[in-house]
Amino acid sequence: MSGIEGKVVAVTGAGSGIGEATALLLAERGAKVVLGARRTERLEALAARIERAGGHAAWIRTDVTRRADLSGLVGLARERYGRLDVLVSNAGVGLISPLDELRVEDWEEMIDVNLKGVLYGIAAALPVFREQGSGHFVNTVSTAGLRVVPLQSVYAGTKNAVRTISEGLRQEAGDGLRVTVVSPGAVRTDFTDRMDPQARARIDRMMETALSPDAVARAIAFAVEQPDGVDVGDIVVRPTAQA
């Protein structure tokens, strides 16, 4: 038996990309997955795909900018499966642009999704984990926070904020809770769809050597499958060719 089999895992941003790949892989390895995203048609299709393969999946529309939605996601896990073992906070947006363009609304959206969305997840899951005496937070950050470059200031700031909060949470967690941050590099997803054209052209060039979302899913699975008492704190996974 793997260290994943039987675990109840909630995933935000599960409608596509890394979240979808993570849900599929964990379900394949025996987890019961609870899917959260805004696009319900994708969640329904993903849950059906998992169940056709013999897995277990539940889903609920989840906008991570709404605290109540994260409470609903955690609540569904407990209602359907009796507990929650892992929360993968993966939902994120990268509305990258030059600061001179003053896209303040985009800055606010990145703060709301990338940062506050993770905090709302912590607020929903932490009391449950404390009650159970165990639990695992997996937060998707980015290599953009490790190597800050032009056009990515606010995006990198939100990801580094999550990195800092995750480290503080780890230190406060005690010996029953685990905290992992996963920093993907360039990954082939729909991440660039809403970017500033200048930024998109730069990122699209990186996509020529980008990872499949499956590569990041395997990194997340590695952290989740570790035995009790082993906390994989930080994983960086990026294309070999990425600077």
Residues with a known catalytic role: 155
Burial class (CB in 10 A: 0-12, 13-18, 19+), 214: middle
Residue 120 has which token pair? 């709302």
Token digits of residue 102: 């003053």
Measured at the CA of 55, the angle between CA 68 and CA 126, to 5 degrees, comes to: 30
DSSP class of 66? S
E strands present in 13-51: 32-37
| Residue matched to tokens 């895992």 | 9
Tokens of 85: 């073992």
**Residue/partner pairs of 43-52 with CB below 8 Å, 24 or more apart:** 43/14, 43/15, 46/14, 46/15, 46/20, 49/24, 50/23, 50/24
Say which DSSP state 55 is in: -
Contact between 215 and 161 under an 8 Å Cβ cutoff? The reply is no
Question: Which of 176, 71, 165 has its CA nearest to residue 131?
Answer: 176
